[in-house]
Structure 1
């Protein structure tokens, strides 16, 4: 309490005594006893009220003992089982839980990781990928600004995410890896990586790149073979030695038949190889007889055009061409979609030809768009633009129902630039992205789609979306989410297919170590997305004829199902709507590839390096006692006494209010009892 507060309280006491004496000590007619009683009660009442008005504040301080944290990260991937380490992991965790000294000193918590990172409640060692970098980054975030040495129980073989050795450089606590497996190097031939296009066009050739590796000390020879069914389509001899332990093969295969073409790549194993699973790999290519051709017409150069090219051609089904307005009008008939980037009066002939051919269009406007020309060149939308620019951001319309759109973080993307003014769309449309300024909608669409008599168009009012693609990569370490967003928009705009009440989106083939997802949209009779519908998918294995039903879950403006539980094979599916005679059927193939079966031993050297870089130490499972001793004896891991100071104003003290009520009530009852009321 400050000196000023103490003086005010003293003054309140003097005033309360003076008033009580004046009221009951000066010319009072009550008896001596009653005068004292009434005086004391009135003093209590007045003093308490004045204290509440002054409202002094009191400080209270509490002390707590905080143990250092000890997160234990457990590798739940299939490679742990492949290396025969599941019992070692279970035994080690049991010992950690039963060690009283360790649990007395540390606040121990358990997490598991594979594809994702989560609290550990049970282990099955069935995760199809290992993302160690994500596990370390998540732990670093969870225990930020805390003492938290970390035990990570893993074989060190990562199949997903960025290199965890470099991620550990930002880790703030010591890492103690417990190594699952051994460091013995076995003789092994392996298909390290196989790269090819997902799509190819009929009567063309598609490239294949294969990286082969060898682990051993003596020179060996083998054959690399690619077969399609019983037919060998490629074969070559390869040789390796201790000094020449890897080879890269580049060749092409013919796309001679339309449809899904499945191949098996095999590096013929040596007689003494321990792991022959990593000697073969299946892959597939979907052969089509034509591509989706997209034309971009632009008079200017802009980074947005590069982002468009990268996003559209990330899917090999699509090709993209860039032309100046003067060159474009005569070749429009060769393309399914025309993208008009920041049109001005030079685009007059292009718009005339688009109207004659009834071509689908996507108009992208910005600061260099001539709106006086554009307003007259088409009838779909109009903008009273000014010479002023405006910075806008985007907000996804969750009710957009034309096709499935996933929110890829539009709210957090950098602002786009556009000319200030109201954009009015005069034909039936659906707004996908709305413009916002400082987080508040300004009532204008940023991206809207239109469909009139089978012709599809879109308006995107804002330039600078190349920053969106870059920002998407920074957030997810991949361009895929942004490229998929643009790809879905292009797929819709480039198609003239009549809209169905049930639209299903599925790939023709999946690798079983990647997400296997099928999405669908259902529309009512007015073609409005119906979120109340109940969708189910029936999946039937073509070989075993085993049939499985899955419910499809609602995700904003589409339904989705995860089919990663299905084994490799060929499947037929039917998506149906409950209580409606509406369904859609198709087929897909799941190719068998278990990346977790590719390893022979633990990555001991890398685990040792991350331990050394963070001030920890790596141990094998047999060195459990040494690990516990290192944690218990480390002087850096001590309990921390934390003090918490609270400032409580007296007005929050309910007992003082109760005292005032009690004093007034007591005075009233005494007066009543003595006949003074």
Structure 2
């Protein structure tokens, strides 16, 4: 308590006493001893009221011991069991969590990780991918302000994410890898990586690049083969030795028919090889008849042009030509879709040609759009001309039914610049994005699609969409989500398919370790999205004729089902409504490949590098006792005594209020009882 406060309290006490003495003793009419009692009660009341006005603050300290945290993370991926380290992993995890000395010294937190991080419930070692980098990053963020050494039980074989050996620089905690595996080097041939485009074109050659590896000291000879069904379409003899441990093989194959084509790469194994699974790898390509050609017409340069071209051409089935209006006239029949960027006076002839030839369009407007020309060139929509611009943010219409749209966190996207005023579309249309101003969603159109006179059209009423692509990358570290959004829009505009009450979204084939996710949307008879619908998928394996039915769950505005983990093979499926005769069907193929079975040894080098860069140390499973001793004896992990300072103002002390009330009541009661009132 400060000295000034003590002085104020002293003055208050003297003042209260003097006032009470003046009232009951100075020229008082009371002749008996009651005047002394009244003086005391009045002094207490006045002093209590003055104390409340001064409101002194009292400090109290609470002391407690804070133990450091010990984070134990176990690799729950299939590679651990494939290297026959699953039992050792369980034994080490049990030894660390059940050691009484460690429990007395640390608060132990246990996790498992594969592609994602989870609290450790049970270990089954069935995760099809492992992302140690993500696990380390999340632990570093969660325990950034604590003393929390990390014990990681892993073979170090990561199949997903960034290189974890560099993660230690961004983590303040020491890391102690427990290596699940041994350091024995076995002679092994493997296909390290295979690079091939997902889409190819009929009668074209497509490149295939294969990176082969050899670990061993002897000179050996093997043969690389590429199979298509039962036929070998390519073969090459390879030679390796202690100094030549890798070779890149490049070739080109011919696409002879349309559809999904699968191939198998084989590196003939050695007789003494321990792991022969990594000598084989399947890959697939989708052969398409032709590429969709899209014209992006402009009259002034803008970053949006590059963003649209990059987004659309992220799908190898599409090609974008950035062209000015004059050059388009002679080539207009070469394109399946025309994107008009901010039409002005120079677009007049092109707009007439598009109307006459009934070409599908995607119109992007902005600050320099000539709305007079655009309004006069067609009868489908009109924009009120104000010659003023406004910034509008997007708001997703959940009831949009033309095609499946994932929510790209549109609320985080920067605003677009558009003409102030409402856009009116006079033909049947669907609004995909509404305009939002200051967080309030309006009914005005930002992005809409419509069909008229046998053609399809979309209009985006705003420029600077390149900022959306950049923001999407900041949100997800990838352009993929934004690019897929634009490509779905382009796919709708460049095709002649009619909309259905059930829309489905899936890939024609999935690699063995891909997430097999199928998305669907269901619309009622008025084509309004129905989020209460009951949908299920009937999946049929074409090889063994087995059938399974799985319900679809509502997730982020769409119905989805995760079929990851199904066996490799060809599948037909049908998404159906469980109480109506509405369905949509498709087929896909899952290629056989398990990335977790490609490893022969633990990656000891990377795990030791991770430990050294973080101030920790790497151990083998036989050194668990040494690890426990080092954790217990490390002075960095001492229990810390901390204190909590509580400041309580006197006005919060209810007993003082009670004392004031009691003294006033007692004074009144005694005076009343004695007839002095």
Smaller-chain TM-score range? over 0.9
Quote how far apart the aligned CAs of 1:653 are: 2.4
Q: Which moved more, 1:445-454 or 1:193-202?
A: 445-454
Cα gap change, 1:144 to 1:238, in 2 (>3 Å): same
Cα gap change, 1:424/1:18 in structure 2, threshold over 3 Å: closer, same or farther? farther
The aligned runs of 1:331-350 (5 Å cut-off) are 331-350=331-350
Q: Which residue of 1 aligns with 2:383?
A: 382
Matches within 5 A, 1:624-643: 624-643=624-643
1:237 corresponds in structure 2 to 237
Deviations 1:566-622 (A, max 9, x none): 222222222112322211222222112100000000111111111111111111111
Task: Verify: 1:119 aligned to 2:114, yes or no.
Answer: no
- Written as runs of structure 1 = structure 2, the 5 A alignment for 1:258-657 is 258-378=258-378, 379-382=380-383, 384=385, 386=387, 393-413=393-413, 415=414, 418-419=417-418, 421-427=420-426, 428-436=428-436, 439=439, 445-452=445-452, 455-657=455-657
Work out the CA distance in 1 between the residues paired with 2:455 and 2:432. Answer: 18
Deviation per residue, 1:314-341 (Å, 9 max, x gap): 2222222222111213433333321112
Separation in 1 of the partners of 2:642 and 2:305?
A: 56
| Partner Cα separation in structure 2 for residue 594 and residue 674 of structure 1 | 98
Q: Which 10-residue stretch deviates more, 320-329 or 459-468? A: 459-468
Q: Structure 1 81/10 Cα, relative in aligned 2: closer, same or farther at 3 Å?
A: same
338 and 671 in structure 1: CA distance in 2 versus 1, 3 angstrom threshold: farther
Closer/same/farther in 2, CA of residues 134 and 237 from structure 1, 3 Å limit: same
Query: 8 Å contact 1:294–1:319 — kept in the other structure?
Result: yes
Q: 1:135 to 1:533 in 2, by over 3 A?
A: same
Change (3 A) 1:38 1:514: farther
Instruction: Single out whichever of 404-413 and 494-503 deviates more from structure 2.
Output: 404-413
- What number of residue pairs does the alignment pair up? 675
Whole-Å separation in 2 of the counterparts to 1:591 and 1:167: 32
Shift of 1:429: 4.2
Q: Any idea what SS the aligned residue of 1:64 has?
A: strand
Q: Please list every run of 5 or more consecutive structure 1 residues that lacks an aligned counterpart in the other structure.
A: none
Q: Distance in 2 between matches of 1:454 and 1:350?
A: 19
Tell me how far apart the structure 2 counterparts of residues 661 and 456 of structure 1 sit (CA, whole Å). Answer: 81
Aligned equivalents of 2:168, 2:447: Cα separation in 1? 41
1:163 and 2:168 are equivalent in the alignment: no
| Deviation readout 1:243-299 (Å, 9 max, x if unpaired) | 222122222222222222222111111111111101111112222223333221122
Please tell me whether residue 226 in structure 1 is matched to residue 226 in structure 2. yes
Residue 386 of structure 1 contacts residue 419 of structure 1 at CA under 8 Å; is this kept in 2? no
- Structure 1 distance, partners of 2:443, 2:15, is 63
CA spacing shift, 1:183–1:475, aligned 2, 3 Å: farther
Q: CA deviation at 1:667?
A: 4.7
1:174 equivalent in structure 2? 174
Cα deviation for residue 561 of structure 1 reads 0.9
Q: Which whole-Å CA distance do the structure 2 matches of 1:494 and 1:543 have between them?
A: 35
Q: 1:426 to 1:52 in 2, by over 3 A?
A: farther
SS of equivalent to 1:636? helix
Asked whether the equivalents of residues 521 and 559 of structure 1 are also in contact (C-alpha less than 8 Å), the reply is yes
Query: 1:375–1:383: 8 Å Cα contact kept in structure 2?
Result: no
Bigger mean CA offset, 52-61 vs 392-401: 392-401
Q: Find the aligned partners of 1:505 and 1:294 in 2 and give their Cα distance.
A: 22
1:108-144 CA distance string (max 9 Å, x none)? 1111111111221221111111111101110110011
Alignment partner of 1:95: what SS? helix
2:387, 2:648 → 1: CA distance? 57
**TM-score, with length taken from structure 2:** 0.93
Aligned pairs for 1:87-106 within 5 A: 87-106=87-106
> What is the rounded CA distance, in whole Å, between the counterparts of 1:16 and 1:454 in structure 2?
94
Say whether the 8 Å CA contact 2:400–2:528 is kept in structure 1: no
Could you say which residue in structure 2 is the equivalent of 1:247? 247
CA distance in 1, matches of 2:643, 2:356: 78
Return the TM-score normalized by structure 1: 0.93
Deviates more, 1:141-150 or 1:362-371: 362-371
Would the aligned equivalents of 2:214 and 2:240 in 1 still touch at CA under 8 Å? Answer: yes
C-alpha displacement at 1:528, in angstroms? Answer: 1.1
- CA shift, 1:79, in A, is 0.4
Alignment CA distance shift 1:477-1:216 (3 Å): farther
Q: Deviations over 1:65-118 (max 9, x none)?
A: 211221112111110011110111100011111212222122211111111112
Q: Partners of 1:277 and 1:116 in 2: how far apart?
A: 25
Looking at structure 1, the residues matched to 578 and 26 of structure 2 have their Cα atoms a distance apart, in angstroms, of 90
Deviations 1:500-539 (A, max 9, x none): 1111112121123111100111111111111121211122
Question: Aligned partners of 1:673, 1:360: CA distance in 2, in Å?
Answer: 99
User: Is the alpha carbon distance of 1:185 and 1:304 closer, same or farther for their aligned partners in structure 2, counting shifts above 3 Å?
Assistant: farther
Which residue number corresponds to residue 137 of structure 2?
A: 137
Distance 1:269 1:32, change over 3 A: farther
| Alignment RMSD | 2.6
| Structure 2 gap ranges (5+) | none
